[in-house]
Structure 1
Amino acid sequence: MTPTDGAVLPPPAGTAAETAPRLRLGLADYLTLGNALCGFLAVWALATAQSAHAASGAGGPLPHAAMATVVGLMLVAAALDVLDGRVARKLGGSGMGAELDNLADVVSFGFAPAFFFVVWGMRAEGLEPLAVVAGGAVLLAVIVRLARFSCQAPGADYFTGLPCPFGAMAVVTVVLLDPPPLAGVAAVLLISWLMVSRMEYPKPRGRKAYAVLGVLAVGVALMAAWGLGVPAGQTLIYLMSAAVLGFIVTIPFYVLATRRPTRAER
């Protein structure tokens, strides 16, 4: 007789029936859904702008207002990604929170920046296949990174590999800096590798999280100024892009330098 052949008894008190995760959406989950919605709207805004640009017969990059809208939506998605975790820790989250977060991140920090880069790469003759390869690398790196993160034990002070929101912002900065096409492809492939690498990035907790939110707010303001044609807006965008790329490249070395003395003391 198999276990299922016997009578089904009601579960005793204190078993899985009482401890099952809550599957109703909480406030943190709505922030996560807002993250996914911003990623979708960024793709929609980019596709609409690209279609209008092509229909008008205009050459060159997309208008600043269109690009500022797309990047601004991605920055808002990144801010919501920081907020949902803090809200979940303070108010509690649902049993779906982690899964929703991963799915939203694939949209906002995987597909959206990958599509953004492909659209940029289509401007250069003969580069579209390479741009598609680099954009696909971004999307796959985000998926692999999120899957690996789900399998890691919670509570670590560091992310293994470049976090997806920072990876997405790095891809965006490559497009905004508008480098030579092959250099842009190489940079995006490097960013994809960083996301699945073993390099460590500190988690933005406590004051660090508020600092990240402040930086994202400044980024949204700069993009709005750039899109509206404010004088020196282009210079500010270049400075912001250089700062983002500098952060991404130097932080792992800073982590290694600060952890070595600690390990030596042990």
Structure 2
Amino acid sequence: MTPAEAVSAAGRAASSAPEEAPRLRLGVADYMTLGNALCGFLAVWALATAQSAHLASGVAGPLPKTAMATAVGLMMVAAALDVLDGRVARRLGGSGMGAELDNLADVISFGVAPAFFFVVWGTIAGGAGVLPVVAGGAVLLAVIVRLARFSCQAPGSDYFTGLPCPSGAIAVVTIVLLDPPVLVGVAAVLLVAWLMVSRMEYPKPRGRKAYLVLGLLATGVALMAAWGLGLPAGDVLIYLMSAVVLLCVVTIPFYVLATRRETARPE
């Protein structure tokens, strides 16, 4: 359950009671949401610092692995906090600001940060003009539209409509880690942006699924650390992880659709 759903559930439970002003004091879940936003900001800071140093040195080639691993790791931590804050809000209760804080934090961590990451990569790789900026802008706008649409939908469904923002952000950074030709990367990122605003359905990480997602994110952070430090087999593991992430992003909606059709089929 996301903070928005937790707040909505609390509002429904209180609908029969006298109307009270929402609690505006920050709760534990809200601090986790703020940690999400801070991770997104630090990812942008790490990328901007690395890009400035890279351009000042005059050395050709991509950004140092340590800087890229740091930025991606921070975005994965932000995604983990995004999963946790909803569960904490459900258990301990959330404030009236929870849903708004969650959307604002997601724009930073899963909109601005991956978009900036892609633009930095495309600028350094060169050869595509303003297309990386267009693709990065498409990601940012898709995240904003998706979050606005989610806020207007009734909670309670077991599925997200459109690719969730954290998954979309991770898909964008994995495209960069695979380091394809710039035009291929632009096309792939535009596809991710479309998936976020599409009607494709993705299962929500509830119950044991949430712990699975957290475990995968922790594994991803560990792999990024190994890759950034130049440990043996780091490149192979990163490429394998990136391929799995992109495969899941593309195939899960079709799996959900096939499962629903199988369930609806008369015996």
User: TM-score normalised by the shorter chain: which range applies?
Assistant: over 0.9
1:134 Cα deviation (Å)? Answer: 0.2
Amino acid of the structure 2 residue aligned with 1:148: R
Paired position in structure 2 for 1:49 = 50
**Alpha-carbon distance between aligned partners in 1 of 2:216 and 2:49, rounded to the nearest angstrom:** 28
Matches within 5 A, 1:60-209: 60-209=61-210
Residues 212-264 of structure 1: CA deviation (Å, up to 9, x unaligned): 00000000000000111101100000000001001101100110011112223
The answer to whether structure 1 residue 249 and structure 2 residue 244 are counterparts is no
Identity %: 82
Indicate if the aligned counterparts of 2:80 and 2:214 stay in contact, CA closer than 8 A.
yes
1:127 Cα deviation (Å)? Answer: 1.7
**Alpha-carbon distance between aligned partners in 1 of 2:153 and 2:143, rounded to the nearest angstrom:** 15
1:15 Cα deviation (Å)? Answer: 3.1
Provide the TM-score with structure 1 as the length reference.
0.93
**Alpha-carbon distance between aligned partners in 2 of 1:90 and 1:128, rounded to the nearest angstrom:** 49
The DSSP-based 3-state class of the residue aligned with 2:130 is helix
**Alpha-carbon distance between aligned partners in 1 of 2:58 and 2:145, rounded to the nearest angstrom:** 39
Paired position in structure 1 for 2:14 = none
**Alpha-carbon distance between aligned partners in 2 of 1:64 and 1:35, rounded to the nearest angstrom:** 23
Paired position in structure 1 for 2:25 = 24
1:123 Cα deviation (Å)? Answer: 2.0
Indicate if the aligned counterparts of 2:163 and 2:202 stay in contact, CA closer than 8 A.
yes
Cα RMSD (Å): 1.0
Amino acid of the structure 2 residue aligned with 1:85: G
Paired position in structure 2 for 1:9 = none
Change (3 A) 1:36 1:128: farther
Runs of 4+ with >6 A deviation: none
1:20 Cα deviation (Å)? Answer: 2.0
Pick the structure with greater CA Rg. Answer: 1
Amino acid of the structure 2 residue aligned with 1:117: F
Paired position in structure 2 for 1:260 = 261
Aligned counterpart for 2:18 among listed residues 3, 15, 36 = 15
Structure 1 alignment gaps of length 5 or more: 1-13
**Alpha-carbon distance between aligned partners in 2 of 1:250 and 1:226, rounded to the nearest angstrom:** 27
**Alpha-carbon distance between aligned partners in 2 of 1:201 and 1:74, rounded to the nearest angstrom:** 20
Work out the number of aligned pairs and report it: 251
**Alpha-carbon distance between aligned partners in 2 of 1:83 and 1:31, rounded to the nearest angstrom:** 8
Indicate if the aligned counterparts of 1:29 and 1:93 stay in contact, CA closer than 8 A.
yes
Indicate if the aligned counterparts of 2:162 and 2:199 stay in contact, CA closer than 8 A.
yes
Matches within 5 A, 1:214-229: 214-229=215-230
Indicate if the aligned counterparts of 1:160 and 1:201 stay in contact, CA closer than 8 A.
yes
**Alpha-carbon distance between aligned partners in 1 of 2:235 and 2:153, rounded to the nearest angstrom:** 41
Paired position in structure 1 for 2:11 = none
Indicate if the aligned counterparts of 1:118 and 1:128 stay in contact, CA closer than 8 A.
no
Structure 2 alignment gaps of length 5 or more: 1-16
Residues 105-161 of structure 1: CA deviation (Å, up to 9, x unaligned): 000000000000000000233424000000000000000000000000000000000
**Alpha-carbon distance between aligned partners in 2 of 1:210 and 1:124, rounded to the nearest angstrom:** 37
Amino acid of the structure 2 residue aligned with 1:138: V
The DSSP-based 3-state class of the residue aligned with 1:159 is strand
1:265 Cα deviation (Å)? Answer: 4.1
Indicate if the aligned counterparts of 2:61 and 2:125 stay in contact, CA closer than 8 A.
no
**Alpha-carbon distance between aligned partners in 1 of 2:211 and 2:266, rounded to the nearest angstrom:** 31
Residues 53-82 of structure 1: CA deviation (Å, up to 9, x unaligned): 111111110111111001000000000000
**Alpha-carbon distance between aligned partners in 2 of 1:127 and 1:214, rounded to the nearest angstrom:** 37
